Homo-oligomer: A and B are copies of this chain.
Amino acid sequence: MTFDINKIRSDFPILQRKIYDKPLIYLDNAATTQKPQIVIDRITDYYTYENANIHRGVHYLSQIDTTAFENAREYIARFINAPKKEEVIFTKGTTESINLVAASFGRKILNKDDEVLVTAMEHHSNLVPWQMLCYEKEARLKVIPYSDKGEINLSTYQMMLGDKTKIVALPHISNTLGSINPVKEMIRMAHEKNIPVLIDGAQALSHLKVDIADLDCDFYCCSGHKAYGPMGVGILYGKTEHLNFMDPYQTGGEMVEHVTLYETSFNEIPFKFEAGTPNVEAVLGMEAALHYVEETGLDEITAHEKNLLVYGTKKLQQIKGVQIYGKAAEKAGILSFLIDDIHSFDAGTIIDKFGIAIRTGHHCAQPVMNKFGIPGTVRASFAMYNTREEIDKLVEAILQVKKMFG
């Protein structure tokens, strides 16, 4: 497999457009990725030829859609190497997946004075649900610290795993610092004490190989839209034993088996957790996206993004006054920085004028900002279609920022 960046770029129609008469340079991939033509086509085809509500329909369209939907589940399960396809539940995104686990699993196992462990580098979506749960249960949220480089200290972590720890929730990759956390090792350590672990993989899917069976995590959460797929779909992977133990989260529609006015029995997994009409469009779109990633070559994508990170880091470090946040040895293509003491909003406003899409602010990870005592950062995050030339343009923009606010 050869990684042909020109072909890849031509597969993403939005990269042909101009912003303020300049070619779009899209470096906001940690927020959401762009979509290749085949994903757009899949959606168009779906609504043009196939659209129907699935499950239980006897008519032709409903049948082919149901087949397509369940085949997509099977493909996606294989893509993340989930042991069983029924362990893959479709949600609307990472945030919902985590909330589902907090509500249906956390609420059932957590008691007063129990502990939930998270890191200090969480996205709010993997922090606030656990805060709320602990508040409700009078349990304690304990926070695993990390170094200024953005690395979790494994021995501190191991010490924190105690008799009261009922669940550990970790980000596979930090959306702010870019750290690729040693989750496999951390899962192993937790399992030694029989503690289940949830991984927030929002930043990992389609950027590095997600191998559920190898990780042996209890739950894995991710979003389609951050992995070249459509908005409105996410995955919750859960081990069968947990999913069977858990109560349903939302109820109604196809997730029930038998209903009388006063009693209801629930369907088996995964349907038990998929209340309401599923987002068939988005599931099929996500399947197409992961297909595209597989064909392009996930290892090659990972290597390409790592290259960009190394190149970008070097280039930014050459600019006087640029401070990079997040210097873990194992790091994904996410580059947070500040220029002198220029506010990220000021920097971002000017960088935007170059047609460059970067994100500024706290990136929904305010505790990370608090740690470093800053209100926000500028963040460039890479995807398979980014190039060194784009990073050079970013550098130009940064130099302009320095000139204007210097």
Interface residues of A (CB under 8 A from B): 13-14, 17, 19-20, 24, 26, 28, 31-32, 34-35, 39-40, 43-44, 47-53, 56-62, 92-96, 98-99, 120, 123-129, 131-132, 141, 143, 223, 225, 230-233, 248, 250-254, 256, 258-264, 275-282, 345, 348-349, 351-352, 355-361, 364, 366-367, 370
Contacts and interface: CB of A to CB of B under 8 A. Distances in A.
Interface centre among A43, A44, A143, A231 (most CB of B within 10 A): A231
A131 B44 contact: no
A20 to B, nearest CB: 7
A294 to B, nearest CB: 20
A53 B32 contact: yes
Given A232-B92, A282-B232, A35 B51 contact: yes
A277 B32 contact: yes
Nearest to A126: B252
A51 to B, nearest CB: 6
Contacts of A232: 92, 231-233, 279, 281-282
Give the secondary structure class of A's interface.
Answer: mixed
Interface centre among A259, A264, A352 (most CB of B within 10 A): A259
Contacts of A17: 49
A99 B47 contact: no
A310 to B, nearest CB: 24
A49 to B, nearest CB: 6
B352 A14 contact: no
Nearest to A363: B56
What is the oligomeric copy number?
A: 2
Contacts of A120: 261
A175 B94 CA distance: 32
Contacts of A124: 251-253, 256, 259, 264
Contact of A58 (B132, B256, B349): B349
Given A259-B127, A357-B59, A47 B250 contact: no
Interface centre among A13, A125, A352 (most CB of B within 10 A): A125
A58 B366 CA distance: 18
Interface centre among A47, A50, A125, A248 (most CB of B within 10 A): A47
A66 to B, nearest CB: 12
A145 to B, nearest CB: 10
B14 A48 contact: yes
Given A44-B40, A348-B58, A357-B52, A367 B261 contact: yes
Given A28-B57, A124-B251, A124-B264, 19 more contacts: A20-B60, A28-B62, A34-B51, A40-B47, A43-B43, A58-B352, A59-B357, A60-B352, A60-B355, A61-B357, A93-B277, A95-B276, A96-B275, A125-B252, A131-B251, A231-B232, A232-B233, A232-B279, A254-B364
A53 B40 contact: no
Nearest to A344: B58
A127 B28 contact: no
A189 to B, nearest CB: 22
A94 B276 contact: yes
Interface centre among A35, A59, A126, A260 (most CB of B within 10 A): A59
Contact of A31 (B57, B94, B366): B57
A261 B62 contact: no
A223 B349 CA distance: 37
A406 B50 CA distance: 33
